[in-house]
Amino acid sequence: MSVSGRHIVVTGGGSGVGAACAKAFAGKGATVTIFGRTEEKLIAQSMPYQVCDVTDADAVSTAFEAARTVSGPIDVVIANAGAVESIPFAKMRPDVLQAMLAVNVMGVSNVWQAALPDMRQSGWGRMIAIASTAGLRGYPYVSAYCAAKHAVVGLTRALGKELARTGITVNAICPGFVETPMLERSIDNIVEKTGMTREQAAEALKADNPQGRFIQPKEVADTALWLCSDGAISMNGQAVSLAGGEL
């Protein structure tokens, strides 16, 4: 199966993994619409876009309708938009947990719900969440993020079973630390709080990966492409670890 001619929506498409996914799918002939909150970053990708906050269900619905009007029904949704905040659990305020759940869980649910009618109509669709190894194990100081990513994995597993006979598959990709602007901010945070050098902080994070390296955005994009292929037709409700053997 080729994604050529199919309409792909990628959230958080202005940079990092989202931008890599958008470029990979466009390179295979797909029509790609990227969503994001910062118009300047979206414009830089030189492809159709919608400015949208995925935590706002009404805004998501409006953005999907606009994307549909321009490029037709949606075939694939890559729910990539996310955020992480590092704080000890004892100091975590309720609003921190709510913010992590809003973008990392509700953001996924909102875009999947918006795309579902098109996929049901065509009898084919691919829902992909960019989750994290934090959805499969725990990490200290990011308990809210881990809770949110675990919820994404649970949503993926439940919805995969619910839609299993519809021609739609639902999967989550769970990479380890990916070399993106989000990772750079995490390294900055470690340096600020521990006094480590940037090199020391990076090596500390790489230590979780048995291969001793950071995952590259293209690896995540290539995995998403594979999940849309005929070879992955039985991949449904899965949390695919992309972490060099960490899990």
Residues with catalytic function: 145
List Cβ neighbours of 87 (8 Å cut-off, separation of 6 or more).
Answer: 96, 141, 144
User: Which amino acid is residue 134, in one-letter code?
Assistant: A
Helix (H) / strand (E) containing 9: strand 7-11
32 backbone φψ class: left, alpha, beta (φ>0; ψ -120 to 50): beta
Nearest-CA neighbor of 240 among 210, 183, 231, 226? 226
Burial of 234 per CB tally in 10 Å (0-12, 13-18, 19+)? exposed
Nearest-CA neighbor of 163 among 214, 127, 137, 139? 127
Helix (H) / strand (E) containing 77: strand 76-79
CA distance 147 to 220: 22
Residue 211, CA distances (Å) to 110, 199, 205 in order: 35, 17, 12
